[in-house]
Amino acid sequence: MQSLSRGLALLGELGRRGRPMTLTELTAVAGLHKSTVHRMLAAFIEHGLVQRVDDNRYTVGVGLYELAESARPAPATARWPHIQAALGALARAVRRPVGFALPRYGGLVRSLSVDARGGAITPPRGTAVLADTELGAAYLAFRPRAEAERCAAQHGTDGYRLLLSLGRTRARGYAVGAAVAAPVLGPDGLAIAAVEVAVDEHDQVARQRIGVAAVGCARRVAGHLAAAAEPAPAPAGRRVAGHLAPESALGPGGPRPSRTPPAGLMARSGASA
C-alpha cells in the first residue's frame, strides 16, 4: 500500500507541475531511488497514465484524462430524442445525412444518425479513427494536447503536422474534408462528442455553410447533454449544494467551439485559419 501511495503521489505531482519532467526531477520530488521511480513510470506508461516524450521527459498520459472522463455521468438516454431532433433539423437544413458520435474504445463511435430528411437510421458500424477522420479532428482539436500526441504515436502520424492541422481546425471551429464535423463541448471547453455531416469535397461554399450550421447544431446538442447531467430539482425549500445551472454558467446555447481551451492544452502553433 505504501508503494501505491507513493506512486499516486508521484502521478499527482506530475499533473500539478503541468510540464514534462525528467527522471532526475521526478526522483528528487518523490524522494525515492531512481530505479524505483523508473519502474513506477513504466507501469504508468503501460496503462496510459503517463507518456514519455522524445527528449526522455515524462508527462501526464491520455489515460488519466479518460479516467477523469469516466467519472462524468453518461448522457441520459432520455435526452437522446432531443439530440436526434437537433440532428434532424440540421439534416433538413443542409439536405444531407448527419451523425452524432461519442468517444469509445480509443476512437469515436457513431451513436445516432439521421438521413437527409431527418429520419432516424442505423448508425454506421465501427469506430472512427481519431488520427485521420473529420470526426476525430473535430474532437481532438478541443482535447488536451497529450491526447493528440498519443494518437499520433499510435497511428504512426507525424505529430507536428497533426498539431498544426488541429490548430487550424480549432481556429475554424470545425473540421472539413470528406465530411464536416463540429465538436460538442462540455462546460470546461473540452470536446465530449462530435457532430458529422456528409459533404461534397469539391463544393467549398457549401462546406463552409454546412460547417457553420454544424457548429450551431453542436451547441444545441451540448445544451441537451448539460441538461442530462443536471441534478434533479430539489423539493421546495431545499437547496442542492454546489449546483450550477449550465445556462447561467455558459450563456444561451451552451459552450462555443471558438472558445479558447484552458491554458496548457493544445499547442497554439499553426492555429491561424
Q: Which domain holds residue 34?
A: 2-60
Position 227 scores a pLDDT of: 79
Please count the helices (runs of H) and the strands (runs of E) in the chain. 10, 10
24 part of a folded domain? yes
Q: What is the pLDDT of residues 235-266, one digit of tens each?
A: 454 444 443 333 333 333 434 444 444 444 44
Question: Residue 202 in contact with residue 160, Cβ under 8 Å?
Answer: no
Q: What is the pLDDT of residues 165-216, one digit of tens each?
A: 899 999 999 999 989 999 999 988 999 999 999 887 777 778 899 999 999 9
75 or 134, greater pLDDT: 134
Task: Give the integer Cα–Cα distance in Å for 193 and 182.
Answer: 9
268 part of a folded domain? no
Question: Residue 27 in contact with residue 33, Cβ under 8 Å?
Answer: yes
For residue 132, what pLDDT band results from cuts at 50, 70 and 90? confident
Q: What is the pLDDT of residues 142-155, one digit of tens each?
A: 998 888 887 777 66
Identify the CA nearest to 185 among candidates 245, 258, 237: 258
Answer positive or negative: Cα dihedral of 257, 105, 128, 229.
negative
Q: Are residues 40 and 92 in the same domain?
A: no
- The total number of structural domains in the chain stands at 2
69 part of a folded domain? no
Position 102 scores a pLDDT of: 87
Gyration radius of the chain's alpha carbons: 20
Position 183 scores a pLDDT of: 97
Write the CATH number for 137.
3.30.450.40
Q: What is the pLDDT of residues 43-91, one digit of tens each?
A: 888 888 888 877 778 888 767 766 665 555 555 466 788 999 999 999 9
Question: Residue 269 in contact with residue 233, Cβ under 8 Å?
Answer: no
Q: Are residues 94 and 185 in the same domain?
A: yes
Distance in angstroms between the alpha carbons of the first and the last residue of the chain:
51
Distance of CA 25 to the CA centre of its chain: 30
Q: What is the pLDDT of residues 5-35, one digit of tens each?
A: 888 888 887 777 767 888 888 888 878 888 8
**Helix 145-155 crosses helix 62-69 at what angle (to 10 degrees)?**
120
Write the CATH number for 47.
1.10.10.10
Q: What is the pLDDT of residues 87-131, one digit of tens each?
A: 999 999 999 999 999 887 678 888 889 999 999 887 776 677 787
Q: Are residues 215 and 88 in the same domain?
A: yes
Single residue among 60, 90, 110 that ends a domain in this structure = 60
Q: Are residues 23 and 148 in the same domain?
A: no
Q: Are residues 8 and 89 in the same domain?
A: no
Position 209 scores a pLDDT of: 93
267 part of a folded domain? no
Position 243 scores a pLDDT of: 38
Q: Are residues 139 and 26 in the same domain?
A: no
Q: Are residues 82 and 115 in the same domain?
A: yes
